[in-house]
Chains A and B, each alone.
Chain A
Amino acid sequence: MVSVDYYIIDNKIYLVLNKKEFNGSTYVYLANEMDSADMIVRKLIDEDTLKMLDSKEELMNVLALFIK
């Protein structure tokens, strides 16, 4: 067993898979624990606030970091 942080978003539990720093911001990579195909990326504002990404380019940049 491993300890994993999670966020409840839209009544679903999203596990924190990883965090990466990019352009001075922290991005979290989250996966729905009940659906492995449901993966989302958010910018971390504070411990209880996540923000959607602003552009497709921003998403592409942080996705590339994730699989590097």
Chain B
Amino acid sequence: MNDEPINLSKFVEIKEDVEFMTEKHRKDYLNRMAGKSVGNKKESARKGEKKIPRSLFIKLMLAAMAGAAAALAGQKVIQSGSRALNLNNAIKYMNDVKFKEYFERLGLEYSTEDFLMWSKVNIPSDNLAIMQNLIDFLIEDGFTETEAWYAISASFGNDGLSLVANLYGKDNIEDFLVSNGYFHKREDGTKKASAVSLGNYCEDGYANNVYNLMERQENEEKGKGL
């Protein structure tokens, strides 16, 4: 990449409290990653260079790092794992101290490591008041309202779509995703948004947020003369 190096390692960590792959699944996954499923030992590959949005690069980098971490740890659900890792680490990166204050305001004991587990256990999808508090907190830190809802929803995996649907109405959220290009095509050619569509939307929005956070941090450091 012909640009300044991007250090994203702070956004990725190996979590151990996840379901693990079967040995066969892990072996297949690793073989594919290493190229053993290709057959030929050497691959003639045409090289080129292209320009892409920085947010796409960050998205792919984060997903790859999460995938690598998952492969090392043997995590079972790679995609959901990457979203959880991304959100968890984004929140940690955004401001640990502020989140502690937020939890204390709610009268809750704060634990960075257990945040994601806490949110899954303690934020039922029908308790939108608590969700709204979390959303407000993310908005305070620079997320737009839509981005914040989608970011939080992403941590709920397949429940994300129904969670957001509770707030906006199912038809609206599906329309929103479809109109923004996040959909699957049914066999009859009609377009259908799903939790996967939502996840893809979240990942794109998340990459943009990471980029914004990095820019803000860089500007703050420049302002301090670092």
Cβ distance A41 to chain B, nearest Cβ, rounded Å? 6
Q: Is A37 within 8 A of B78, CB to CB? A: yes
A14 to B203, CA, bound (A): 19
Contact partners of A36 in chain B: CB under 8 A: 59-60, 63-64, 82, 203
Interface size class of B (residues with CB under 8 A): 35 or more
Q: Is A7 within 8 A of B45, CB to CB? A: yes
Known: A3-B51, A4-B49, A48-B44. A40 touches B63 (CB 8 A): no
Q: Which residue of A lies closest to B63 (CB)?
A: A36
Contact string, B32-71, partner A, CB cutoff 8 A, digits 1/0?
Answer: 1111101011111111111111101101110111011101
Q: Is A3 within 8 A of B50, CB to CB? A: yes
Q: Is B1 within 8 A of A4, CB to CB? A: yes
What are 14 A-to-B residue pairs whose CB atoms are below 8 Å?
Answer: A2-B54, A8-B45, A29-B64, A31-B64, A37-B79, A49-B42, A49-B43, A53-B34, A53-B36, A56-B30, A59-B34, A63-B72, A66-B64, A66-B68
By a beta-carbon cutoff of 8 Å, the part of chain A in contact with chain B is: 1-10, 13-18, 29, 31, 33, 36-37, 39-42, 45, 47-53, 56, 58-60, 63-64, 66-68
